């Protein structure tokens, strides 16, 4: 697909980008190479087997939302290891 200098200038105008005549030629070449690469990607051989294998490999990777620990199971051990505690809470110095 060939892109003209006028198309590049129009795109630059729509994008509100000021380009010189030298930049137009450079951009035209870059745009043509990008479009050529996209054409290659579009012609890549993707068959039903590729789609099927991708769909089959999808699975839920999240665990069920369950409580893994019994509430209060480790409270006594944690409170015993605290330097200072009050009513099962860690006691700290006032900062303010």
**pLDDT tens per residue, range 80-90:** 898 988 888 88
pLDDT at 70 over 90: no
pLDDT at 37 over 90: yes
* Among 4, 1, 79, residue whose Cα is nearest residue 40: 1
At 31, the pLDDT band (50, 70, 90 cuts) reads very high
CB atoms within 10 A of CB 3: 16
Per-residue pLDDT, averaged over 49-54, amounts to 62
Domain positions in the chain are: 5-46
Handedness of CA 79, 81, 86, 90 (dihedral sign): negative
* Among 29, 26, 24, 25, residue whose Cα is nearest residue 12: 24
Predicted pLDDT of residue 16: 94
Full-model pTM: 0.45
Mean residue pLDDT across the chain: 84
Q: Does domain 5-46 have CATH number 1.10.287?
A: no
Q: Which helix (H) or strand (E) holds 89?
A: strand 89-90
More confident residue, 41 or 33: 33
Predicted pLDDT of residue 69: 78
Give SS3 for 36: helix
* Among 10, 51, 48, 52, residue whose Cα is nearest residue 28: 10
């Amino acid at each position: 697909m060939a892109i003209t200098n006028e198309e590049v200038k129009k795109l630059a105008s729509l994008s509100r980008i000021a380009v010189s005549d030298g930049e137009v030629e450079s951009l035209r070449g870059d745009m043509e190479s990008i479009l050529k690469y996209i054409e290659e990607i579009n012609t890549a051989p993707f068959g039903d087997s590729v789609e099927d294998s991708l769909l089959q490999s999808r699975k839920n990777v999240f665990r069920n939302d369950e409580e893994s620990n019994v509430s209060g199971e480790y409270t006594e051990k944690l409170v015993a290891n605290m330097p200072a505690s009050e009513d099962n809470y860690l006691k700290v110095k006032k900062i303010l």
